[in-house]
Chain A
Amino acid sequence: MHHVVLERWSRGGSFLHARDPRVKILAALAILVAIATTPPQTAAPFAAYAILLIGASAASGLPVSGVLARAAVVLPFSATFAAISWVSGDPERAAALVLKSYLSATAALVLIGTTPMPKLLLGLEKLGAPRMIVLVALFLYRYLFIVSEQAQHMLQAAAARGGLFGKARPLRFRAAGGAVAVLFGHSYQRAVGIHRAMLSRGFEGRLMPASALALTVTDALFLGGALVLAFASRLSAGAGL
């Protein structure tokens, strides 16, 4: 599963892994802003971002090909919009759309691949992200695979009773609709159970961090370097938007 692989990556011991999650989030944000504001007519900045991100992946010990392959998951979505731009006579914008979304996904993967999820969420909370959103992300991360496993079991059960392939479309839709409803019901029930378990262990609305974050001089230098690199890459395209 994707998130199991990402979790394994995030437990590495490289220079980037050791940085405070807050400076990594800010650095990733700077790169994302730089990518988003780069004008589509220029190639140099995109090459610079790509070198930066591939370099960061390699230096952190992440499998570069694995990162690049996983980032491609955004392509079906961005390619749809790119196709519309292409058809309406703007191939340059179409290419930039695909490139920007792909590079942004790569940047996000480098961040997630070098920061364990609990630290990433703690970093987000310390940077002022709303607690409710952080909590939702935490639970989503923890339970997504349980729900997907349940979905997998339901598919297997359907297959064991003759499967759905080759059946008429209305029947397939009906079965899929039923499965989604059952999954929703299970998820709701589980949410009630989790809430009860949390209350039973003294939860009063706030998740207490077990470890504090501490910024070091190296973290500050890293953030400064990352901002300079992102800014320099962006400037190589000139100031136009």
Chain B
Amino acid sequence: MQPVVEVSGLRFRYDDGTAALQGVDFHLFPGETVALFGANGSGKTTFVLHLNGVLTGEGRVVVCGMPVTKENLTEIRRRVGIVFQEADEQLFMPTVLDDVSFGPLNLGIEPAAAVERAKSALGDVGMLHALDKAPYHLSAGEKRRVALAGVLAMNPEILILDEPTTSLDPPGRRDLARLLGRLPQAKIIVTHDAWLARRLAVRSVFFEGGRIMGDGATDELLKRFDWECDAAEAMPARLD
């Protein structure tokens, strides 16, 4: 089976000189879900922004058989949907329907068809009732769902979710995990949330200092990098 994402030797340095990626090799197969772990600043978000050409570094990035180059960007951005960590940054249009239609309209789809697609995507995430609402009237969980609908409306083959459970309450987290579990696309989930990774991803990848330090079964990786903090462990030792 051909991978839908193939990355080799990817390096990237920000303008301020920070070496964010220092030789990353990665692959993702159709229908697979992979969780990306790592401390803040380890390069996870920088890495995923290379998969649809928002950032471009040195190395080879191939998505759905196409190298990520200027000529392929429109098609690659249709196929790779990124749901950003800050839903407020993604929901910039005045109403929910306007926002979810934004992507399909950019693909050149006729307005009426784009609106139909947007409604269908909103139906998939259970937000059809909020069509005319302004995004800032929504709860954090609702914003997350609408942001996901905005990406699903573009019919992507690969879904990338950056910290999807941040600021969600436990029921919101559970609902989102259920929803994501139902989606057939290949998924890359950037997360600190071990519960979510266990629930959705058989395979995980661990980032450190702009490099992949581990790639394997989620359970094994979580233990190897000591990436869990249970309630008992989180309690401070009594001083008395």
Contact = CB atoms under 8 A, between A and B. Distances in A.
Interface stretch (B30-38, B87-95, B165-173, B193-201): B87-95
Contact of B105 (A118, A139, A210): A210
Interface string A176-213: 00000000000000100110111111111000111110
B134 interface: yes
B154 interface: yes
B48 to A, nearest CB: 10
B92 A142 contact: yes
Given A200-B54, A201-B151, A212-B111, A193 B77 contact: no
A7 B98 CA distance: 15
A154 B80 CA distance: 37
Contacts of A212: 111
A105 interface: no
Contacts of B102: 198, 201, 203, 208
Contacts, number: 88
Contacts of B210: none
Interface residues of B, number: 37
A21 to B, nearest CB: 13
Interface string A129-155: 000000000110111011000000000
A145 B78 CA distance: 31
Secondary structure at the B interface, as helix, strand, loop or mixed, is helix
A201 B94 contact: no
B77 A202 contact: yes
A145 B84 CA distance: 20
A27 interface: no
B88 A146 contact: yes
Nearest to A121: B94
Contact of A210 (B77, B81, B101): B101
Contact of B106 (A139, A190, A204): A204
B74 A202 contact: yes
Contacts of B86: 190, 193
The CB with the most chain A CB atoms within 10 A, among B78, B103, B106, B151, is that of B106
Given A116-B94, A190-B89, A201 B154 contact: yes
Contact of A146 (B52, B118, B136): B136
B109 to A, nearest CB: 9
A115 B77 CA distance: 34
B105 A196 contact: no
A28 interface: no
B97 interface: yes
Interface in B68-86: 74, 77-78, 80-82, 84, 86
B115 interface: yes
Interface of A: 7, 11, 116-118, 138-139, 141-143, 145-146, 190, 193-194, 196-204, 208-212
Interface of B: 49, 52, 54, 74, 77-78, 80-82, 84, 86, 88-90, 92-95, 97-98, 101-103, 105-107, 111, 114-115, 118, 132, 134-136, 150-151, 154
Given A196-B89, A202-B78, A209-B105, 18 more contacts: A118-B93, A139-B92, A142-B93, A142-B94, A143-B92, A190-B88, A193-B84, A196-B49, A196-B84, A197-B82, A197-B84, A197-B90, A200-B77, A200-B82, A201-B81, A203-B102, A210-B115, A210-B118
16 contacts: A11-B132, A117-B94, A138-B92, A146-B136, A190-B88, A194-B89, A196-B54, A200-B54, A200-B77, A200-B80, A200-B82, A201-B103, A204-B106, A208-B105, A209-B111, A211-B111
